[in-house]
Chains A and B, each alone.
Chain A
Amino acid sequence: MEMIDAELRLGPPGSDVNVVVQPARTAAKRSSSAVKSEASGTGGGNDDDAAPASKVQVVGWPPVRAYRKNACHAAAEAASARTTTKKQGEQGGGGLYVKVSMDGAPYLRKVDLRTYGGYRELRDALDALFGCFSSSLPGFAIAYEDKDGDLMLAGDVPWDMFICSCKKLRIMRGSEAR
């Protein structure tokens, strides 16, 4: 327990001070209170489920900006997504680009289906591109043309099956889709 006498004195600073300092122990205690083990994670590049003891992280250490850490995680996730879909998909390498048309829009876009994890992400991405799912506009639905050329409503089959059979996307007005 430290007792610090902080009153004015005539000596130079640091002299004649009655302080019992146990810095090593305190510092060690301090470090342990600053250590938080990361249970799950934002450690996107790491495949381990349980972080081993040697991988326990100190808060704010190493001193790397959050922006840089996030960018590297995003890169690692994109890289592993590319390698896993490479194993799954029939087309090797590159993306799975399909055209997207929206009723009433002057030009089409292209999206890479491999970059989305599921229907929700696809919907959000299309909303970012076309602004079709914001509440001010009447209902739109996502439809797609499959291998047989039939127009299907997206969402019925599992995502992985969908990206294998989807050839083209079409965002249709709600009235037509009904």
Chain B
Amino acid sequence: MTYFPEEVVEHIFSFLPLHSDRNTVSLVCRVWYEVERLSRRAVFVGNCYAVRPERLVQRFPNVRTLTVKGKPHFADFNLVPPDWGGYAGPWIDAAARSCMGLEELRMKRMVVLDENLELLARSFPRFKALVLISCEGFSTDGLAAIASHCKLLRELDLQENDVDDHGPRWLSCFPDSCTSLVSLNFACIKGEVNPGALERLVARSPNLRSLRLNRSVSVDTLSKILVRTPNLEDLGTGNLTDESESYLRLSSALEKCKMLRSLSGFWDASPICVPFIYPLCHHLTGLNLSYTPTLDYSDLTKMISRCVKLQRLWVLDCISDKGLQVVASSCKDLQELRVFPSDFYVAGYSVVTEEGLVAISSGCPKLSSLLYFCHQMTNEALITVAKNCPNFIRFRLCILEPKKPDAITNQPLDEGFGAIVRECKGLRRLSISGLLTDKVFMDIGKYGKQLEMLSIAFAGDSDKGMMHVMNGCKNLRKLEIRDSPFSDVALLGNVAKYETMRSLWMSGCNVTLKGCQVLATKMPMLNVEIMNELDESSEMEENHGDPSRVDKLYVYRTTAGARNDAPDFVKIL
């Protein structure tokens, strides 16, 4: 290979789609390192504190797509205190100085400020796509800057962000010359948008393929928009609360959208809207009804029973076991199912149980991705599910009551989850719940060879549990644990493992300050962050135990050293 000119080497590298492969070739020799780094177009940073932004942009000055993830996953559930970190600013600043060719920025669980968006909008002349998922810290003013200045914008995709609403002005900031939009998702924007501005924007965007509206958009406005977008493939509706006559207009507009494959939104949907969706159903491959508590099991099943090509379905548990049976008999191509709870309290009446899951598993053998919130589960059901669906890649089961045993036998659910890891050889992500002993971890360690992410809550008896996982799961990248009896012994049982992982989260466990200090000393390439509740000292005394017990622990490998933006309540050892 030394006889090949660099352009040829670069061309060969362009056939390597995976980041990991490109990372590997860059280790071969200096020449390859240089060729690779200068030709790298996409960089993925799984933990924004694992590497300094300046270092990254220096190494990859020609990057076009940058993906950065910030807070740990449990931040989604308010387990990470506010102001913990994950700031987008340093990344955008660094890129603005060194990567003029940046075209796409994707961020997840980061704090993005309006001034960051303004800098972004002005710094990259070829900027095309902004995707923000579960971010916060910005307002519609930041979006106005993006709309105003990114002349080649193709994609503005805002998923489940917490955005301050400063009025509808931002949408009108797209200039008349902006005709390049392919994807626009503003479903998470809380306030009104100007319907006229929206209609005009859509009218001058002939390439629009994906459009997700927010709650403020009426059926009338939606009808007017759809007339302009016959090539739309993915639609998130506005609210569907209007009177019946509006739906007639909507219906005739929808008929023109022959390419529509994916539907979501359904904000505040009235059951009146359901029949008007029927003509679309038999083409749909994706359907998200999980924000619609206003449709009951009967409305839902009338719609879903017609969706014979469905591959991805997100619903609320008001669909009930009966409804899931309808899904099982109608949607034979189903690959991904998510059933969310409509009542967030722990003790509720059972609408979705193990029966619904068993029905789905027997009717939908292609099922590979599951997120299932339910009130009860049995080992027998899980064993059946494992036999019916050996192709699970993601299996996340959340029994709403912590430590709830098998609903019939009252035994722990070790056997059931054990069957899942044993049968599903390709399992990459697993979340467990219910009453579980160390036995389940023995199985996870023994069979979970492809497992990359494991979420544990209120499970296990002793340190042996966590040790099974740490020693057995060869491909483990992310381990997150809450309220489980693992102590310093487990934390320190296999310290070298942490270098092969992205991160470890432990909260409500039995690790102590001393244990964390030992870890930090033994492994200088890890950041060991501890966060303690600002509890009254009286509670500490009551515990009699170690006042140095650590409430929250976040450990991650890094080349950047301790971060300098940590708030007071975070201690980095």
The verdict on A138 contacting chain B, using a C-beta distance below 8 Å, is no
Asked if A34 and B483 make an inter-chain contact with CB atoms under 8 angstroms apart, the answer reads: yes
Asked if A26 and B485 make an inter-chain contact with CB atoms under 8 angstroms apart, the answer reads: yes
The verdict on A2 contacting chain B, using a C-beta distance below 8 Å, is yes
Provide the residues of chain B in CB contact with A61, threshold 8 Å.
77, 346, 402, 457
Quote the shortest CB–CB distance from B79 to chain A (angstroms): 5
Provide the residues of chain A in CB contact with B493, threshold 8 Å.
13-14
Provide the residues of chain B in CB contact with A33, threshold 8 Å.
508, 539
Asked if A69 and B344 make an inter-chain contact with CB atoms under 8 angstroms apart, the answer reads: yes
Asked if B485 and A79 make an inter-chain contact with CB atoms under 8 angstroms apart, the answer reads: no
A14 to B215, CA, bound (A): 54
Interface string of B360-394 (1 = CB under 8 A from A): 00000000000001000000000000000000000
Provide the residues of chain A in CB contact with B489, threshold 8 Å.
4, 6, 13-14, 17, 19
Q: Which residues of A44-100 have CB atoms within 8 Å of chain B's CB atoms?
A: 45-46, 54-69, 71-72, 74-76, 78-79, 82, 93-94
Asked if B483 and A31 make an inter-chain contact with CB atoms under 8 angstroms apart, the answer reads: yes
Provide the residues of chain A in CB contact with B293, threshold 8 Å.
45, 72, 75-76, 79
Contacts A6-B489, A61-B346, A67-B134 aside, 10 further interface pairs with beta carbons under 8 A come to A13-B467, A26-B545, A27-B458, A33-B508, A60-B79, A62-B346, A64-B373, A65-B160, A66-B78, A79-B293
Quote the shortest CB–CB distance from A121 to chain B (angstroms): 13
Asked if A30 and B515 make an inter-chain contact with CB atoms under 8 angstroms apart, the answer reads: no
Contacting B188 at CB < 8 Å: which of A6, A62, A67?
A67
Interface with A: B162-170, B223-231, B299-307, B415-423, which one? B162-170
Take A27-B483, A68-B340 as given contacts and tell me if A60 and B77 are in contact as well, using a CB distance cutoff of 8 Å: yes
Interface string of B156-193 (1 = CB under 8 A from A): 00001110011111000000000000000000100110
The verdict on B514 contacting chain A, using a C-beta distance below 8 Å, is yes
The verdict on A117 contacting chain B, using a C-beta distance below 8 Å, is no
| Nearest residue, chain B, Cβ from A42 | B344
Asked if A65 and B243 make an inter-chain contact with CB atoms under 8 angstroms apart, the answer reads: no
Provide the residues of chain B in CB contact with A64, threshold 8 Å.
77, 340-341, 344, 373
Pick the most buried of B342, B463, B518: most chain A CB atoms within 10 A of its CB.
Answer: B463
Contacting B464 at CB < 8 Å: which of A14, A68, A128?
A14
Take A23-B462, A129-B167 as given contacts and tell me if A30 and B268 are in contact as well, using a CB distance cutoff of 8 Å: no
A175 to B556, CA, bound (A): 63
The verdict on B484 contacting chain A, using a C-beta distance below 8 Å, is yes
Interface string of A6-18 (1 = CB under 8 A from B): 1000000110010
Provide the residues of chain A in CB contact with B490, threshold 8 Å.
14
The verdict on B129 contacting chain A, using a C-beta distance below 8 Å, is no
Main secondary structure on chain B at its contact with chain A? loop
Provide the residues of chain A in CB contact with B487, threshold 8 Å.
2, 4, 19, 21
Quote the shortest CB–CB distance from A73 to chain B (angstroms): 9
The verdict on B537 contacting chain A, using a C-beta distance below 8 Å, is no
Take A65-B160, A66-B78 as given contacts and tell me if A2 and B340 are in contact as well, using a CB distance cutoff of 8 Å: no
Asked if B134 and A65 make an inter-chain contact with CB atoms under 8 angstroms apart, the answer reads: yes
A2 to B467, CA, bound (A): 18
Provide the residues of chain B in CB contact with A129, threshold 8 Å.
167-168, 192
Contacting B514 at CB < 8 Å: which of A1, A6, A13, A93?
A6
A128 to B165, CA, bound (A): 9
Provide the residues of chain A in CB contact with B343, threshold 8 Å.
45
| Nearest residue, chain B, Cβ from A30 | B508
| Nearest residue, chain B, Cβ from A128 | B167
Asked if A65 and B77 make an inter-chain contact with CB atoms under 8 angstroms apart, the answer reads: yes
Provide the residues of chain A in CB contact with B160, threshold 8 Å.
65, 67-68
The verdict on B478 contacting chain A, using a C-beta distance below 8 Å, is no
Asked if B242 and A24 make an inter-chain contact with CB atoms under 8 angstroms apart, the answer reads: no
The 10 tightest CB contacts between A and B, nearest first, are A23-B485, A13-B493, A54-B347, A60-B77, A67-B160, A55-B345, A60-B79, A27-B485, A128-B167, A65-B76
Pick the most buried of A23, A45, A78: most chain B CB atoms within 10 A of its CB.
Answer: A23
| Nearest residue, chain B, Cβ from A33 | B539
A69 to B169, CA, bound (A): 27
The verdict on A155 contacting chain B, using a C-beta distance below 8 Å, is no
Contacting A14 at CB < 8 Å: which of B467, B510, B543?
B467
Pick the most buried of A2, A27, A69, A128: most chain B CB atoms within 10 A of its CB.
Answer: A27
Q: Can you list 23 contacts pairing A with B, beta carbon distance less than 8 Å?
A: A4-B488, A6-B489, A6-B514, A13-B492, A14-B464, A21-B462, A23-B460, A23-B462, A45-B293, A58-B346, A59-B79, A61-B77, A61-B457, A63-B77, A63-B431, A63-B455, A66-B76, A67-B162, A71-B291, A72-B291, A72-B342, A72-B344, A79-B293
Quote the shortest CB–CB distance from B503 to chain A (angstroms): 17
Quote the shortest CB–CB distance from A106 to chain B (angstroms): 11
Interface string of B492-524 (1 = CB under 8 A from A): 111000000000000011101011001000000
A64 to B292, CA, bound (A): 15
Interface string of B459-488 (1 = CB under 8 A from A): 011111001000100000000001111011
A104 to B484, CA, bound (A): 64
Provide the residues of chain A in CB contact with B515, threshold 8 Å.
4, 6
| Nearest residue, chain A, Cβ from B400 | A62
Provide the residues of chain A in CB contact with B165, threshold 8 Å.
128
Provide the residues of chain A in CB contact with B460, threshold 8 Å.
23
| Nearest residue, chain A, Cβ from B269 | A75
| Nearest residue, chain A, Cβ from B533 | A33
Asked if A57 and B345 make an inter-chain contact with CB atoms under 8 angstroms apart, the answer reads: yes
Asked if A26 and B510 make an inter-chain contact with CB atoms under 8 angstroms apart, the answer reads: yes
Asked if A62 and B344 make an inter-chain contact with CB atoms under 8 angstroms apart, the answer reads: yes
Pick the most buried of A6, A31, A76: most chain B CB atoms within 10 A of its CB.
Answer: A6
The verdict on B570 contacting chain A, using a C-beta distance below 8 Å, is no
The verdict on B278 contacting chain A, using a C-beta distance below 8 Å, is no
Asked if B78 and A128 make an inter-chain contact with CB atoms under 8 angstroms apart, the answer reads: no
Provide the residues of chain B in CB contact with A66, threshold 8 Å.
76-78, 162
A82 to B462, CA, bound (A): 52
Asked if B402 and A31 make an inter-chain contact with CB atoms under 8 angstroms apart, the answer reads: yes
A23 to B465, CA, bound (A): 12
Provide the residues of chain A in CB contact with B30, threshold 8 Å.
none
Take A67-B134, A128-B165 as given contacts and tell me if A54 and B346 are in contact as well, using a CB distance cutoff of 8 Å: yes
| Nearest residue, chain B, Cβ from A21 | B462
A153 to B128, CA, bound (A): 49
Asked if B485 and A24 make an inter-chain contact with CB atoms under 8 angstroms apart, the answer reads: yes
Asked if A57 and B78 make an inter-chain contact with CB atoms under 8 angstroms apart, the answer reads: no
